[in-house]
Amino acid sequence: MLKRTRSTSHAKLDYMAPDMPMIIQRTTLSASAPRTLTTDYRWHDDIEYIYVYSGTLSINVDGAVYSASEGQVIILNSRHLHSMYSVTGDDCEYLNITFSPVVLSAAPYIERTFVKPLLENEGFTAMVLKLGQDWSDRIINGIRRIGDSYEQNGYDSLMESMSIVYDIWNMLYSRIPRSGESRSNGKHELAIMRLMIDHIRGHYNAKMTLESLCRAGGVSVSYGSKLFKKYLGSSPVDFVIDYRLNKSTHLLKHTGASVKEVAAKVGFVNSGYYAKRFRERFGMTPSEFRARYS
């Protein structure tokens, strides 16, 4: 059966098996929280084909937003910072097919000629496909067919699914213009971003300065700030505050800790400042949030 999950945080899952580096999963991204609450930023080497069953799914990819509604598809390329969120008042249900580029690389020639040129294409970060053109219709229907077949037949459907995955990549390869540039500089910048975001994840509940954050990435404050603006559309300080606010919503919903205790647990020294920023972000006080969503 097609595995279904329901979460406000789309966590990275283990592959089906070590020798089958693919995930086929139907997920509901809950909208039973403020629209501004997004999933955590993540990145990985995998490629994602995403079909939206209902609602509207938005993905912030390296600071740019891609949105797809019912019957539409988002293709997400490898190694980009991204975060998903629902922008409607309803839950967003979608099919996520995540797979390693290894799946496409049947031989060194195939990998070198047809896979790497797209993976390293500066112009191919993500794309939204809508019905209306023969090739996009074929991709959308193919992704939907993978989900339907896997739900009905499980692992017995994987040979068919693999042929569709290859067919889709072939269509993308033939239609996405080559940028003529590699992503070597982008890879270096994203490696720095990963170090800084990992530092935030590990130290968000402790005292953190802009200097210490950028030092974790091995860069100056000015360069680190520039990268945050480029890839996340935010200053490092605002990103840390938003990260702490998002973390606090889980504590408000699932623990009995006081607002002051919640503020301290996520790194706010002043509970009054925490409440002020929370209200600015979510349009309600922490207490009102708890009453509404817990």
What are the residue boundaries of the structural domains of the chain, listed by start? 3-175, 184-293
Residues β-bridged to residue 98: 23, 48
Q: Is 45 exposed, middle or buried (0-12, 13-18, 19+ CB in 10 A)?
A: exposed
CB 57 within 8 A of CB 86: yes
CB 22 within 8 A of CB 100: yes
What letter represents residue 93's amino acid?
E
- Report the predicted TM-score, pTM, of the whole model to 2 decimal places: 0.75
68-82, 136-150, 158-172, 178-192: lowest mean pLDDT where? Answer: 178-192
Q: How confident is the model at residue 184 (pLDDT cuts 50, 70, 90)?
A: low
Continuous segment of H or E residues that includes residue 279: helix 271-282
pLDDT at 30: 66
Q: Is 168 exposed, middle or buried (0-12, 13-18, 19+ CB in 10 A)?
A: buried
Does residue 294 have a pLDDT over 80? no
3-state DSSP call for residue 88?
A: coil
Q: How confident is the model at residue 14 (pLDDT cuts 50, 70, 90)?
A: low
Q: Tell me the pLDDT of the chain averaged across its residues.
A: 86
Q: How confident is the model at residue 186 (pLDDT cuts 50, 70, 90)?
A: low
pLDDT at 1: 42
Q: How confident is the model at residue 8 (pLDDT cuts 50, 70, 90)?
A: very low
Q: How confident is the model at residue 183 (pLDDT cuts 50, 70, 90)?
A: low
The arithmetic mean of pLDDT across residues 147-152, rounded, is 94
Per-residue buried b or exposed e for 75-92, using 16+ beta carbons within 10 Å of the residue's own CB: bbbbbbbbbbbbeeeeeb
The arithmetic mean of pLDDT across residues 134-157, rounded, is 94
- The Cα 270–Cα 279 span in angstroms is 15
pLDDT at 147: 95
* CA dihedral (9, 14, 15, 16) positive or negative: negative
The arithmetic mean of pLDDT across residues 24-37, rounded, is 67
Continuous segment of H or E residues that includes residue 64: strand 64-69
7-11, 75-79, 274-278: lowest mean pLDDT where? Answer: 7-11
C-alpha distances (whole Å) from 248 to each of 177, 198, 240 are 43, 18, 12
3-7, 221-225, 269-273, 281-285: lowest mean pLDDT where? Answer: 3-7
Q: Which fold has domain 184-293?
A: Arc Repressor Mutant, subunit A (1.10.10)
Q: How confident is the model at residue 182 (pLDDT cuts 50, 70, 90)?
A: low
The arithmetic mean of pLDDT across residues 65-83, rounded, is 92
- Residue 159 DSSP class: H
**Domain spanning 3-175 has what CATH number?**
2.60.120.280
The arithmetic mean of pLDDT across residues 43-51, rounded, is 91
The arithmetic mean of pLDDT across residues 177-199, rounded, is 76
Nearest residue to 183 (alpha-carbon basis) of 34, 77, 25: 77
In degrees, rounded to 5, the angle at the alpha carbon of residue 222 between the alpha carbons of residues 245 and 224 is: 50
Percent of the chain exceeding pLDDT 70 equals: 87
CB 169 within 8 A of CB 114: yes
pLDDT at 148: 96
pLDDT at 127: 96
- Residue 39 DSSP class: P
pLDDT at 120: 87
The tokens describing 221, both together, are 């404050």
More reliable by pLDDT, 168 or 92: 168
pLDDT at 92: 87
The angle that helices 221-232 and 236-254 make with each other, rounded to 10 degrees, is 60
